[in-house]
Amino acid sequence: MNLDRDTAALRRMIAQARRVAIFTGAGISTESGIPDFRSPDGIWTRLAPIDFAAFLASEEARREAWRRKFASDGVIRTARPNRGHRAVAELVRRDKAAAVITQNIDGLHQASGIPEAQIIELHGNTTYALCLDCAARYEIDDLRRAFARDEAPPRCAECRGIVKTATISFGQPMPGEAMRRAEIETRAADLFVVLGSSLVVYPAAGFPELAKRNGAALAIINREATPLDGLADLVLRGSIGETLGAAVDID
């Protein structure tokens, strides 16, 4: 096999590691056709996000949030895991990686076959919705049909609470259980691999810093520079699918 020097280095790091923690961001899903946020053609170059306080405060903000959700939903519904997701799933299958810590909300790690118990979602999941008061679950297809009738933002059928996609918006408290599990996995790892994250969103970006402080090696695969590149033992600028796919022997 003819690997370039960096890919070979990544392969060696993985081989030498006892326990790998994988940390993914929007960049791992761009090869599945889902745009990221901060690339030049990312989502936020077009629309400012609606934060949690605004969502709670006004019916109009909720209507706008749901309009955007339904307008962009087709992409996530039809997206399939790509070579990068498959390579991550292979590392989990080999028991090399105990868990995947993800900032993504698209459900593609689940779709790649990784058991739910080994996926830690820091920013929730946009493929279903929850009542903010009683946590009753709602399916997006049902909500879309109801919204199409009168554009009324959904309310909980059980308690009339506000229903929101199961994602964590800016200003919304982080999910405690996911944060705890992510910290445990980070501390347990001797290799921490970042895949496709600009590493500017905290507290999520604190995990690679914690891994490094804790003595783990740090590898970052990202097309653009990140603020933590200087901390990393290995920085790869290629595409995630190609680089990790080759390092793990996955097509």
Cβ closer to ligand NAD: 123 or 164?
123
Residue 223 C-beta: closest distance to ligand NAD, Å: 4
Among 99, 129, 197, 216, binds ligand NAD (CB under 6 A): 197
Cβ closer to ligand NAD: 156 or 240?
240
**85 catalytically annotated:** no
CA distance to 31, 97, 99, per residue, from 85 (Å): 10, 13, 13
Helices then strands (H, E): number in the chain? 9, 9
**Which residue do the tokens 């290995």 mark?**
234
CA distance to 79, 127, 148, per residue, from 142 (Å): 20, 12, 10
Residue 178 C-beta: closest distance to Zn ion, Å: 21
CB atoms within 10 A of CB 169: 18
Site for Zn ion in 146-205 (CB under 5 A): 156, 158-159, 161
214 in Cβ contact with 239 (< 8 Å): no
Contact call for residue 110 and ligand NAD (CB under 6 A): no
Contact call for residue 153 and ligand NAD (CB under 6 A): no
Distance of alpha carbon 60 from alpha carbon 40, whole angstroms? 29
Distance of alpha carbon 235 from alpha carbon 225, whole angstroms? 9
**Which residue do the tokens 């695969």 mark?**
221
Contact call for residue 198 and ligand NAD (CB under 6 A): yes
Contact call for residue 38 and ligand NAD (CB under 6 A): yes
Distance of alpha carbon 25 from alpha carbon 4, whole angstroms? 24
Cβ closer to ligand NAD: 17 or 228?
228
Binding-site ranges for Zn ion (CB under 5 A): 131, 133-134, 136, 156, 158-159, 161
Binding-site ranges for ligand NAD (CB under 6 A): 25-27, 29-31, 34, 36-39, 42, 103-106, 123, 196-198, 201, 221-224, 239-240
